[in-house]
Amino acid sequence: MKKLKKSKLKENQTIQISGSKSISNRLLILESLFKNIEIGNLSNSQDTSLLKKALSENTEWVDIHHAGTAMRFLTSYYSIQGGKTTILTGSKRMKERPIKNLVTALQNLGVEIEYLENEGFPPLKIKGRTITQPKVNVPSNISSQFITSLLLIAGKLENGLEIHLVGEVTSRSYIEMTLNILTRFGIKNSFIENTIKVEPFINHQSSIINYEVESDWSSASYFYSFAVLGRKTIHLKSFYKESTQGDSAIAKIYEEFFGIKTNFTEEEHKLTLQPDPNFKFPEKIVLDMNNCPDITQTLCVTAAALKIPFVISGLGTLRVKETDRLLALHNELKKLGTETEYTDYTIKSTGFGKAEENIIIKTYQDHRMAMAFAPFCLVQELEIEDEDVVEKSYPKFWEDLQIILTENS
């Protein structure tokens, strides 16, 4: 249990967030397949450590715990390890997170994959082989991680790969991030309408690539919330003006709805989050967050703390993440006095009342529930049920809060 006393924000503190977990996990797979990357500012998240461990140990039984990207990326990775059989499993929740569209795509490419418990879900038994078929159809409405998983191995296939995305494309920014990394790596690709083509990558032994990972924008989002509720300037390192991370949308969203101006200092790769003292909050927030699903919880808590009505759409993936994030938000926002209604794709506020006196936020084994609700301590004291959940993406979160917060006395 983490007790957060009613606090104030200190002025002008600087936080160094570690590398993006999404970029890091893509690079680790590519490094393992092509072996020529010097990675700087690798994510210190548990998800990245788990993936790194799996790739370095190369065992026959791999438990990836809660790490969704690692589960999905390794499914394709093990599919092309010819002559090797791997059992890939995860936490209880991982066994409830869908993987069927990816498995079916790999099966259609000729890989033998078996479900060891429930059809469509981990654990999987994967028999690696050489993939030669050049084309595959993949439904793209459940998780972009399925597409990224195939894209990461595509350059290794002798005929490359053409992926036809079927249906709506969810979390598109993450597919674009993958293609951007492939391009940096020298792997030729194109994304036209619903077809992605990746060429086979032949000269991969020739040179070493240095890749400095930009810090994690999903982690940065919590400091935007602190800056809004604490009305003080915060500095974050190491970020770039042009980001490949979809969650960098937080800068625009928090400027438009909460008056936080983001300044970039090029030389120091520093973001400065500056609240505009004359900003008038909007009467309502209406937003589609399909491109940046991981910052939904951050935004809902900021809006709830300010009692600004919100209608958020594009949330079709939230019910199959670390927890059912829409249900979790609905239950916990109530404790802050915010009533909500949700569907499979949307959440909207329906009324604002008084917050409970003794708030205890349940975390549902979801790191983002803990971190998204933490900024509410600038409004009222609260407790967060399981403080250790933050390790999944941001192990130093509570330590970093000590830098920016001072208790009200």
Ligand X SMILES: C=C(OP(=O)(O)O)C(=O)O
| Catalytic residue positions, numbered | 294
| Strand 347-352 with 338-342, pairing | antiparallel
- Cα 162 to chain centroid distance, Å, stands at 25
Residues 249-308 that bind ligand S3P (CB under 6 A): 293-294
Residue span binding ligand X (CB under 6 A) among the ranges 31-39, 63-71, 279-287, 338-346 = 63-71
Is residue 69 close enough to count as binding ligand S3P by CB under 6 A?
A: yes
Q: Which of 43, 76, 144, 365 binds ligand S3P (CB under 6 A)?
A: 144
Q: Which of 145, 189, 233, 291 binds ligand S3P (CB under 6 A)?
A: 145
Residues 366-395 that bind ligand S3P (CB under 6 A): none
User: Could you tell me where the DSSP H helices lie in 231-374?
Assistant: 249-258, 296-306, 325-335, 367-373
Structure tokens, 335:
């404790």
Is residue 20 close enough to count as binding ligand X by CB under 6 A?
A: no
- C-beta pairs of 155-158 under 8 Å, 24+ apart in sequence: 155/33, 155/34, 155/182, 155/185, 155/187, 155/198, 155/199, 155/200, 155/201, 155/204, 156/33, 156/34, 156/80, 156/200, 156/201, 157/80, 157/131, 157/132, 157/200, 158/130, 158/132, 158/200
Size of the site for ligand X (CB under 6 A): 8
Query: 145 or 225: whose CB is closer to ligand S3P?
Result: 145
- Greatest C-alpha distance within the chain: 67
Which DSSP letter does residue 277 get?
T
393 binds, among ligand X, ligand S3P, none (CB under 5 to 8 A by kind): ligand X
Distance of CA 265 to CAs 22, 251, 273, 276, 286, Å? 24, 14, 11, 18, 30
Is residue 317 close enough to count as binding ligand S3P by CB under 6 A?
A: yes
Is residue 140 close enough to count as binding ligand S3P by CB under 6 A?
A: no
Q: How far is it, in rounded angstroms, from Cα 395 to Cα 360?
A: 21
Is residue 143 close enough to count as binding ligand S3P by CB under 6 A?
A: yes
Query: 148 or 340: whose CB is closer to ligand X?
Result: 148
| Least distance to ligand S3P, CB of residue 142, Å | 7
Is residue 368 close enough to count as binding ligand X by CB under 6 A?
A: yes
- Cα 5 to chain centroid distance, Å, stands at 28
The total number of residues shown for the chain amounts to 409
Is residue 69 close enough to count as binding ligand X by CB under 6 A?
A: yes
235 binds, among ligand S3P, ligand X, none (CB under 5 to 8 A by kind): none
368 binds, among ligand S3P, ligand X, none (CB under 5 to 8 A by kind): ligand X
Structure tokens, 275:
């609240």
| Least distance to ligand X, CB of residue 22, Å | 8
Distance of CA 81 to CAs 34, 112, 338, 394, Å? 13, 12, 50, 31
| Least distance to ligand S3P, CB of residue 68, Å | 6
Query: 139 or 230: whose CB is closer to ligand X?
Result: 139
| Least distance to ligand X, CB of residue 393, Å | 5
Is residue 321 close enough to count as binding ligand X by CB under 6 A?
A: yes
Answer positive or negative: Cα dihedral of 137, 176, 190, 212.
negative
Is residue 248 close enough to count as binding ligand S3P by CB under 6 A?
A: no
| Least distance to ligand S3P, CB of residue 145, Å | 5
Query: 7 or 298: whose CB is closer to ligand X?
Result: 298
Looking at beta carbons, which residue is closest to ligand X? Answer: 68
Size of the site for ligand S3P (CB under 6 A): 12
Q: How far is it, in rounded angstroms, from Cα 117 to Cα 115?
A: 6
Q: Which of 31, 63, 216, 294 binds ligand X (CB under 6 A)?
A: 294
Q: Which residues pair with 198 in a beta bridge?
A: 161, 189
- The label of the residue with tokens 């590398």 reads 19
CB 257 within 8 A of CB 225: no
| Least distance to ligand S3P, CB of residue 18, Å | 15
Structure tokens, 27:
């690079």
Q: What does the binding site for ligand S3P look like in residue numbers (CB under 6 A)?
A: 22, 69, 143-145, 148, 170-171, 174, 293-294, 317
Q: What does the binding site for ligand X look like in residue numbers (CB under 6 A)?
A: 67-69, 294, 321-322, 368, 393
